[in-house]
Amino acid sequence: MDMTLKKLLISIAALALAFNIQLANAANPKVKLETSKGTMIIELYPDKAPKSVENFLAYVNAGAYDGTIFHRVIKDFMNQGGGFTPDYEKVKTRAPIQNEADNGLKNLKYTVAMARTGEPHSATNQFFINTADNAFLDHKSKSMRGWGYTVFGKVIEGQNIAGAISRVATGPGGPFAKDAPKTQIIINKMTEIKE
């Protein structure tokens, strides 16, 4: 092999390696979640839950979460929101997404996961913040009962706000017989943080 070609190939390999290192060090996307109780920053994990992150950011960037509420809050369990207005009208949704709960991420305290119905692949816009370690929500098998709930991010700032929300007084509200905050917790605005 001629020396010039060898140097060129080494240069290309070095550039590729540098590019891959840069990609590996690229910051995960973050979302600022401003509520009537305070502000949280959520870090998202597109490498582990690409469909869930893409879906969540589509709602964030469309302003679909702005003015919605945390409609279901259970102390030492989770805070669920994103799907209803303060009048308990359902927010329009995109098509459901594939469950990615088999991604290795666990429903640990302050992680953020997709809410869904009893059907594993039914998540749309609703999400929840775990306010305890909830291992029973983790993926166990690719069956109706075993799929679990997809973790796709974590509250990295404002965990005290997530905790404060989890301790509010709850009761009936709108179509819900229980677990609705008596004083509504509004999601004022959600924005993707552009670095």
What CATH fold (topology level) applies to the domain 28-193? Answer: Cyclophilin (2.40.100)
pTM of structure: 0.87
Could you tell me which residues come within 8 angstroms of residue 22 by beta carbon, excluding any fewer than 6 positions away? none
Where residue 14 falls among pLDDT bands split at 50, 70, 90?
A: low
DSSP H helix total and E strand total for the chain: 3, 10
**Residues 85, 68 contacting (CB under 8 angstroms):** yes
Looking at 10-141, which runs of residues are DSSP E strands? 30-35, 38-44, 68-74, 78-81, 111-114, 127-130
Say how many Å lie between the first and final Cα of the chain, rounded.
44
Where residue 116 falls among pLDDT bands split at 50, 70, 90?
A: very high
pLDDT attached to residue 195:
75
pLDDT attached to residue 166:
97
21 has a pLDDT exceeding 80:
no
Where residue 20 falls among pLDDT bands split at 50, 70, 90?
A: low
pLDDT attached to residue 12:
65
What are the tens digits of pLDDT across the range 137-191?
A: 999 999 999 999 999 999 999 999 999 999 999 999 999 999 999 999 999 999 9
- Lowest-confidence region among 19-33, 51-65, 109-123, 154-168: 19-33
**Residues 109, 163 contacting (CB under 8 angstroms):** no
Query: Mean pLDDT across the stretch 73-96?
Result: 97
What burial class does residue 66 get, using C-beta atoms within 10 Å of its C-beta: 0-12 exposed, 13-18 middle, 19+ buried?
A: middle
Q: What is the mean pLDDT of the chain?
A: 92
Q: Which of 181, 191, 192, 152 is nearest to 84 (CA)?
A: 181
Q: Which of 148, 31, 50, 129 is nearest to 97 (CA)?
A: 50
Rg (CA), the chain: 20
1 has a pLDDT exceeding 80:
no
